[in-house]
Amino acid sequence: MKLATLALALLASLATDAAFAQAAPDPVTPVDVINAMESNGVHPGYRRNHSKGLCVAGEFKPTAEAKKLSASNIFAGSPVKVVGRFSDAGGNPQFADNTPDPRGFALQFQPADGSTTNMSMLDVPVFPVPTPEGFYQLMTVKSPDALAAFKQKYPRSAPFFAFLGKNGVPESFATADYHSLSAFKLTNDQGKSQFVRWNFLSKQGVHFLSADEAKAKSPDFLAQALQDELKKGPQVWVMRATLANSHDSLVDPSMPWTGPHRLVSLGTLTITQADTDGSGACNPINFDPTNVAKGIEPSDDPVLKFRSPAYAISFGKRTAEK
């Protein structure tokens, strides 16, 4: 009698699980996100996101404190060559620079031993969503009503949109701070590990335009402004790590790290030149942020992990198209 009851219970459980599996939506894939980006138009040979950009080059000088946190070759002590790219968000290479939207700053550190480290950052201090599914839904928003529905579904996106409302257009690519958003694990030579988020803080100061000031700018003013500034001298950022406290989320880029934290200066980035003819050294680089050398590891942030295959699809498409 007990065996028969157990068998019936097991069958009922299996039936419930099967029904749930049929009802549950399929998980969002990197292909879905790339398709959503392409739904606004395909521009052959360009990145599917951050299509409009400007290549830059310079060097990074680490601090002594950086080596205490990480055994990475970018923190070993000697200056490291850096190739980078400033960009506008979205898949349109004719995107108007005077439109409010996040700006990107991607870097590839190229130390002498050949093992590169990438960083892909935004000028917003927090990401709008905690999951790839949320990012996909943001990519499919095409109307004010859809945006309102998105904000209601993802209330933690409020700080992201509030920041853009006040800081939608920088005065220059050089007058913005840039943020990793996701957490990474740093491990030193003694095997001690520490999770951090990092920021590149502008030595030029942080300056954003008002709505009226932005409207008065040309659609391509950001690249020209940076080139003009570089003629006057190098543009500089300080790389700073925020060390995670025990209560900080290591897997949710939409959750700010609040309260007091230990801050460590990791080095100084100096940009000395910018591409002026479209043939910059950054063009063939896939700035996958999970490509990091020993001493730095990606966290289990699902958005961060999702970016790697999405970047690979975009890279493969634009390379084949060229």
Q: In Å, how far are 105, 107, 156, 172, 307 from 119, measured between CA atoms?
A: 8, 5, 24, 20, 12
pTM: predicted TM-score of the whole model, two decimal places: 0.90
Which amino acid belongs to residue 275? Answer: D
Mean pLDDT of the chain: 91
Nearest-angstrom CA–CA distance, 140 and 129: 14
Tokens 């910018």 found at: 274
CATH architecture of 51-307: Beta Barrel (2.40)
pLDDT tens per residue across span 50-64? 999 999 999 999 999
Tens digit of each residue's pLDDT (9 = 90 or more) over 149-191 = 999 999 999 999 999 999 999 999 999 999 999 999 999 999 9
Annotation says 207 is catalytic: no
What are the domain boundaries of the chain?
Answer: 51-307
pLDDT of residue 322: 78
Question: What residues in the chain have per-residue pLDDT under 70?
Answer: 1-26, 277-278
Alpha helices in the chain (DSSP H): 2-23, 30-38, 64-69, 132-139, 144-153, 158-166, 211-215, 221-232, 302-321
Per-residue model confidence (pLDDT) at position 5: 40
Q: Catalytic one among 43, 50, 247, 261?
A: 50
Task: Give residue 53's identity as a one-letter amino acid code.
Answer: G
